[in-house]
Amino acid sequence: MEEIELRKHRCCFTGHRPEKLRLSERKLATLLEAEIKRAIAGGFIGAALNKKLPEKTVEKAFNGVQLLVLAICVFNIIRNIR
C-alpha cells in the first residue's frame, strides 16, 4: 500500500503540547477536575430524573438540552467568524 492509502487506516496522536495551551497546566487541571465532577453529578441527576419522570418527558428534556448546546455552538462559530 502507498502512504496515502495507509493514512486512511491510521490514527495518530502527537502527544501533549503544553506550549500550545492558552492556560497554565495548573489552571487547566483545575478546570478539568471541576468539569469531571459536574459530569458525574449530571449523570446522577439524570439517573434520578429518569426514575421519577415519564420516558417522553425525559426525551423532551434531553432533546431540549441538545438544542441548547447546538445553539451555543452556532453562536460561538458566528462570533469567531467576525
Q: How far apart are CA 35 and CA 39, in angstroms?
A: 6
Give the integer Cα–Cα distance in Å for 74 and 69: 9
pLDDT in tens, 12-28: 777 777 777 788 888 98
Which region, left, alpha or beta, applies to residue 24 given φ > 0 means left and ψ of -120 to 50 means alpha? beta
Q: What pLDDT, in 10s, does the model give residues 38-82? A: 999 999 998 998 899 998 998 999 899 999 999 999 999 999 887
User: Could you give the CA distance from residue 56 to residue 62 in angstroms, rounded to a whole number?
Assistant: 10
pTM score, whole prediction: 0.55
